[in-house]
Amino acid sequence: MKCSLRVWFLSVAFLLVFIMSLLFTYSHHSMATLPYLDSGALGGTHRVKLVPGYAGLQRLSKEGLSGKSCACRRCMGDTGASDWFDSHFDGNISPVWTRENMDLPPDVQRWWMMLQPQFKSHNTNEVLEKLFQIVPGENPYRFRDPHQCRRCAVVGNSGNLRGSGYGRDVDGHNFIMRMNQAPTVGFEQDVGSRTTHHFMYPESAKNLPANVSFVLVPFKALDLLWIASALSTGQIRFTYAPVKSFLRVDKEKVQIYNPAFFKYIHDRWTEHHGRYPSTGMLVLFFALHVCDEVNVYGFGADSRGNWHHYWENNRYAGEFRKTGVHDADFEAHIIDMLAKASKIEVYRGN
């Protein structure tokens, strides 16, 4: 009897050890394959998955990544959408000029310095070193969470926004990017009231609320000197035109548009049509490189074929086409191609 009980206990013990071993193996494997753990798991340990940008997602998709690469209904990283797009897109070029990419390639430096030639030359790196003591000089878009959808609205200044009623839809995006003067007060129903990024050059600059990122589009070294001055001493009051001596913006949110990215758009996308890409193109491709989903408003002519700003009473003003600097027709063609490739959705307005 005692022998039977001993055998029974040993059998039960071995069975329990076997079951516990299976459970431990299964739980260890499950935890090891989780893409991330919620905050507070494992006794408060935070585990963060670093997420590649579109170029990394593109590479992963070719290596067997299935399904969507983001949480959007339409993702920048979706596979097989367009050979044309993939042959033009380069995710390795940062849209933001930072401490890490201060040194411009020689061909970029030459091209950029000829956009608006100056009588006095400046050492670009020295100017940037001083500027980055005032503004962050970091890239805030390096990583993003694939489990979230960063929806971006690129809002142009076209008169086709008048009477469009797009305001509420625009305001529903995570990032809302505007350019140059772009007023919202009085036009909220059509253009929205929120702004997260405002792209300007010195001659078009205006004061911004504290929660808006001012993205400087520099055409020359003097523009970098100007922003440093406008945020400190106020000494520079003139470039090739009068500029604001002081600028009220959030210093911690100031970003500098990368001239290498500027030239990349000129070479790869607008293909040297026009002297250089329009601000609208610069903002659109900035969004294509930092967002998961891009929706475009206020680009192109109105329904009557007129080119004017939505805040102008004269619908025949057509300042964009009068300059001769940009090729409006070719840029419109690029927008159509991006829409056909399902990389953007264009809202045509009126």
Catalytic residue annotation: 276, 326
Nearest-angstrom CA–CA distance, 309 and 301: 10
DSSP letters spanning 47-63: -------HHHHHHHHHT
Q: How far apart (Å, rounded) are the C-alpha atoms in residues 115 and 146?
A: 38
Pair 298, 183: CB distance under 8 Å = no
Phi, psi angle pair for 173, to nearest 5°: -90, 160
Q: What is the CA radius of gyration of the chain?
A: 26
Do 70 and 76 touch, CB atoms closer than 8 A?
yes
Q: 211 a known binding residue? A: no
Which positions ≥6 away from 134 have C-beta within 8 Å? 228, 231, 232, 251, 254
Is 125 assigned to a binding site? no
Residue 309 known to bind ligand: yes
Residue of 62, 59, 91, 58 lying closest to 75 (CA atoms): 58
Q: Determine the 3-state secondary structure of 3 from DSSP.
A: helix
Annotated binding residues for substrate, written as ranges, equal: 116, 157, 180, 240, 276, 280, 300, 309, 326
